[in-house]
Amino acid sequence: MFTKVIPLSFSALLALVTFSTNATIYDVTIDGSDAIWLAGRTDLTIPPASDPWPGGMIRHGGPTPEEILETIPPEILVSGGDVVKVADPAVGGISFFNGFGAPYYGPEGNPGVSTLNAFGGISGYKGTEGALAGVFLDNAIPNGTPPSTLDFTGAGLGTDFLTLFPEIGQIFFIGDGITSTNVFQQFIAPAGATRLFLGIPDGFGFDGNPGAYDDNDGSYRIKVGINQTPLPEPNILALIGLGMLGFIFVRRKTSV
């Protein structure tokens, strides 16, 4: 007994590789001075590099060669339930030390463990040192009791998770945005979220209170997709290609 194979139409095959028209891609540069704890803080005035923060972040006691001012991290508009995925793995490097140039840390951060305290209504951070991180916020200036600190060390969530559901104000690890097996990770915006900020978690020795941004030169760059429909896997694309060739072959035979 033979099974009759009916080839898909060319338009149906193309539909298998169609992208969502609602997807939005953002190309974002994150500077070493983009302090993740300043996300949404329109109520603060960043003091001159020569002055200490009044009750704020910690700076070096004396001038640094760079004398970099902390900056508000870049912002992306989101809605609760949005699926945020990296469109291209993050690249770049940041030097976290006095003086320009190497050594640079990449978006995944240095393997050492950084444990930084909460600040101004935004949680602490626990994970690799100097990694690219994110935080979802609503329309309010973050204040009050911060949410719990997520643990991205091997004893906690690690960095190879597939899907993450952070709370508003809860800093989360992004790194380069893919797992060790090159699977793109996704981050789900919590209910009430209106903004996603991308920034750097830093402090003296990468521990304790946030700060030490005044010598951070360099940047990371990342493309972020909101509600992006992914491309089919390479083997699926190959099967679709074979299906198209079969369709063309059948059309030619039946027209003879």
Give whole-number Cα distances, 169 to 93, 126, 245, in Å. Answer: 25, 14, 51
pLDDT value of residue 122: 98
Q: How far apart are the C-alpha atoms of 133 and 20, rounded to whole Å?
A: 26
Both structure tokens of 91: 């690249």
**Which tokens is 219 given?**
């940047």
| pLDDT score at 230 | 56
Nearest C-alpha neighbor of 56 from the set 214, 182, 237: 214
- pLDDT tens digits, 155-168: 999 999 999 999 99
- Name the residue with higher pLDDT: 61 or 170: 170
Which residue shows structure tokens 């930084």? 116
**How large is the average pLDDT for residues 244-250?**
42
Q: Go through the domains of the chain in sequence order and give each one's CATH number.
A: 21-255 (2.60.120.430)
Q: What tens digit of pLDDT does each residue of 68-125 get?
A: 999 999 999 999 999 999 999 999 999 999 999 889 999 999 999 999 999 999 999 9
Q: Higher pLDDT residue, 7 or 47?
A: 47
pTM score, two decimals? Answer: 0.82
pLDDT of residue 72: 96
Q: Do the beta carbons of residue 168 and residue 147 sit within 8 Å? A: yes
Query: According to the model, what pLDDT value does residue 20 have?
Result: 42
Quick count: other Cβ atoms within 10 Å of Cβ 67?
A: 13
Residues 25-82: tens digit of each pLDDT: 999 999 999 999 999 999 999 999 888 888 778 999 899 999 999 999 999 999 999 9
pLDDT digits 0-9 by tens, 183-225:
999 999 999 999 999 999 999 999 999 999 999 999 999 999 9
Q: Which of 220, 192, 215, 188 is nearest to 202 (CA)?
A: 215
